[in-house]
Structure 1
């Protein structure tokens, strides 16, 4: 059994979904592990990870609108606003999604569906580089 770990920095220009599937594909291919399990972990509490449709951009827009409606920026609604009006809604959006994903690896490639991609879901207006830890275990 072998394993590899890598920190991938993903930068979003603004709030929303940023696909980084190709970066992860390159990492997996370079490891020479044919069969295994890839774990992705986002080291932040105001951004999350999704496996989502990567063919039709309207899916991403609809997701962003939906999350804006269920966790809106509202100064009267939340106590926590240390980093601004979007601070607590970002934490709520992360709590409703996930910071960790698992993807099987078969024949040296991630086993994703035809229209699936890996996304950072940035929940803050004022973005920062996000550290995504990739851990591949297999043989």
Structure 2
């Protein structure tokens, strides 16, 4: 059994989904394992990780609109607004989507479906540099 770890840095452009599939897959290939499990962990409380369709851009637009409705920016709605009106909604959105993913490695490839991509979901309006811890265990 082998293990490998790294930290992937991702620059965001503010609220939205940044696809990281290619960077993650390239790192996985470089490890030379054929079977195993990849775990990704977002090291932030106002960003998250999701697996979602990577073909139709309207999917990403609809996702952003949905989260704006269920966790709106409204200073009157939250006690915590230390960093502005997008602060607490960002935390709520991260709770709802999660900060970790597990993806099987089969025959040297991530077992993602045809239209699935791995995304860092930035919940803050300002650009940020985010980090994702990757851990792979396998043979």
TM bucket (normalised to shorter chain) is: over 0.9
Q: TM-score, normalised by structure 2?
A: 0.99
Corresponding position of 1:61: 61
Offset, 1:127:
2.4
Query: Following the alignment from structure 1 to structure 2, what is the Cα–Cα distance between the partners of residues 104 and 73?
Result: 36
Runs of 4+ in 1 over 6 A off after TM superposition: none
SS of 1:84's equivalent in the other structure is: coil
Corresponding position of 2:88: 88
Q: CA RMSD in A?
A: 0.5
Query: Following the alignment from structure 1 to structure 2, what is the Cα–Cα distance between the partners of residues 107 and 32?
Result: 10
Q: Does the CA-based 8 Å contact 2:14-2:128 persist in structure 1?
A: no
Corresponding position of 1:16: 16
Corresponding position of 1:112: 112
Query: Following the alignment from structure 1 to structure 2, what is the Cα–Cα distance between the partners of residues 70 and 64?
Result: 10
Unaligned runs of 5+ in 1: none
Offset, 1:75:
1.0
Offset, 1:14:
1.7
